[in-house]
Structure 1
Amino acid sequence: MAKTIAIYVRVSTQQQDFRSQEPDLQQWADAQNGRIKWYRDKATGKRMNRPAWNELEFALRMGKIFQVVVWRIDRLGRTVSGLASLFDEFQDRNINFVSLKDGVDLSTSAGRLMANMLASVAQYETELRGERVAAGQAAARAKGKRWGGSQAGKRKKVTSTQEKAVLAMKAAGEPITAIAKAVGLSRPTIYSILETP
C-alpha cells in the first residue's frame, strides 16, 4: 500500500481561516509526486488533542504516512515537551517532518537541532503573550476597569470546578469566548470570575 504525505494546517480559533498557510503548502504539494492528504484543525496549539490531528496521528500509527508537512512548527504545537516527543516519535517511525517557513527537515541533524530550538521559541512566545495579557488586565483592574458589565456578587452560580477551569484556561492564554463556550458560562460571568481577587 502506497504511503501518504500528510499536510497539517492549524489555526487557533474558529474565527480564523487557513488563507495565510494554504497557498505556500499548496505550491509545495503541487511539486510532489504521490498521494497527499490534508488535515485541518481550528484548535489551540497548547494541547495535542484536536480532531484532525487525532485522525492524522492514527494514520501515523497505522503506518500510512511517511511525511508530515506544516507551514510553520508552531502550527503543529506550542509546547517544547509536546513537540520534542513528537519529533522523537517521527524519527522512531521513520517519518520525515518538514516545516516550510522554518526551513526545517528532520531528515538532517541540523534540521533536528533547528526543530527543537523553534519548539522552545514557540512555547516562549505563548508564555510571553499570556504574561502580557495578565499584566494588561492587572493594570486595567488597578484603574477600576471592569469587563462585561457584571456587578460584583451578582453572577450566575458558578461551581468551583468551573471556576478552576476558567482560571486555568485563562492562564493558558485561551480567549474569553472559547472559555465561556467550554465551561458553559456567559462572557460577563467569565470576566467576573477573573476579576475576583
Structure 2
Amino acid sequence: MEVGYARVSTQEQNLDLQLDAFAKTGIKKIFTDKVSGVKSEKPELQQLLNYIRQGDTLVVWRLDRLGRTTVQLIQFIEQLRDKGINIKSLSEPIDTTTATGTLIVQIFCVLAEHERNVLRERTNAGLTAARARGRKGGKPKGLSEKYNSIKNLVKISYEEGATSTEQIMKAFNIGSRSTLYRILRDTGTKTGTFTKRK
C-alpha cells in the first residue's frame, strides 16, 4: 500500500501542488501537515507512522518534506528501513521498491557515514594536538555509552544551525541542557555560544 505525506511550512501556504501529484499517481490515503520543517513535532507524520505497516511505501512529493537537514533525513530513512517500510519521492529518483532507488538511498547513507567519520577524525586530531600541548581531552567523566554513540550526530545537528538546542535534545532523547553541552564538548564543539541559541 502506498501512503502519501504532504507538508507546507506555514498556514498561508497550500498543499495543492503536492496533493495534485498524489492524485495523478492514484494515492488515496494521504496525511498532511502545515508546520515548519525545523519543528520536531509533526502531528500528521506521527499519525502516518502509527498507521503505516511493514511492506507499505511512504510517498512524498520531495524528500525535503520529511526533514530540513541531511542528518534528519538519513536518520528518518534508516528508521523506515528498519521497520520494513519503503520510501518513494515523486520529484526525485528515490524509490526503495526498486534496485536503483535503493542504491541511491544507500549512497546517501554512505555519504552520511563518511561525514561522521571525517568529524571523528577531526575530533581525534584536535584531542591529540591538545594533549601534545599539555591539555587533557577526551570523553568527559560520566558520559554514557548511549550518548557516546550519538555524539557525532548531535554535533552535526548543532553545527548545521537549523535546529534549536531544545529540538536536538528532544530528537536524541537528551535529558538536560548540561548533558547536551557535555556531549558537544566531547566532540570538540565550542560551547560559548549556547546562550545565544533559542
Are 2:55 and 2:86, in contact at CA under 8 Å, matched by a contact in 1?
A: no
Are 2:54 and 2:84, in contact at CA under 8 Å, matched by a contact in 1?
A: no
SS class of match (1:82):
helix
CA distance in 1, matches of 2:22, 2:29: 12
Residue by residue over 1:44-72, the C-alpha shift from the partner in whole angstroms, topping out at 9 and shown as x without a partner, is: 11234111111112224xx3771100000
Are 2:8 and 2:33, in contact at CA under 8 Å, matched by a contact in 1?
A: yes
Are 2:54 and 2:83, in contact at CA under 8 Å, matched by a contact in 1?
A: no
In the other structure, the counterpart of 1:19 is 16
CA distance in 1, matches of 2:39, 2:51: 19
**In 2 relative to 1, CA 81–22 (structure 1 residues): closer, same or farther, beyond 3 Å?**
same
Identical residues among aligned pairs (%): 27
In the other structure, the counterpart of 2:67 is 77
SS class of match (2:29):
strand
CA distance in 2, matches of 1:168, 1:128: 9
Single out whichever of 87-96 and 103-112 deviates more from structure 2: 103-112
Match of 2:46 among 54, 58, 76: 54
**In 2 relative to 1, CA 65–45 (structure 1 residues): closer, same or farther, beyond 3 Å?**
farther
SS class of match (2:56):
strand
Question: What is the alpha-carbon root mean square deviation over aligned residues?
Answer: 3.3
5+ residue gaps, structure 1? 130-163, 170-197
In the other structure, the counterpart of 1:145 is none
In the other structure, the counterpart of 2:58 is 68
The alpha-carbon deviation at position 168 of structure 1 amounts to 4.1
Match of 2:82 among 84, 89, 92: 92
SS class of match (2:6):
strand
The alpha-carbon deviation at position 43 of structure 1 amounts to 0.5
TM-score (norm 2): 0.50
Amino acid at match of 2:39: R
The alpha-carbon deviation at position 15 of structure 1 amounts to 0.6
The alpha-carbon deviation at position 22 of structure 1 amounts to 1.8
CA distance in 1, matches of 2:102, 2:87: 12
Amino acid at match of 1:51: P
In the other structure, the counterpart of 1:109 is 102
5+ residue gaps, structure 2? 116-155, 163-193
TM-score (norm 1): 0.50
CA distance in 2, matches of 1:23, 1:12: 18
Amino acid at match of 1:94: G
Are 1:72 and 1:101, in contact at CA under 8 Å, matched by a contact in 2?
A: yes
Amino acid at match of 2:63: I
Q: How many aligned residue pairs are there? A: 119
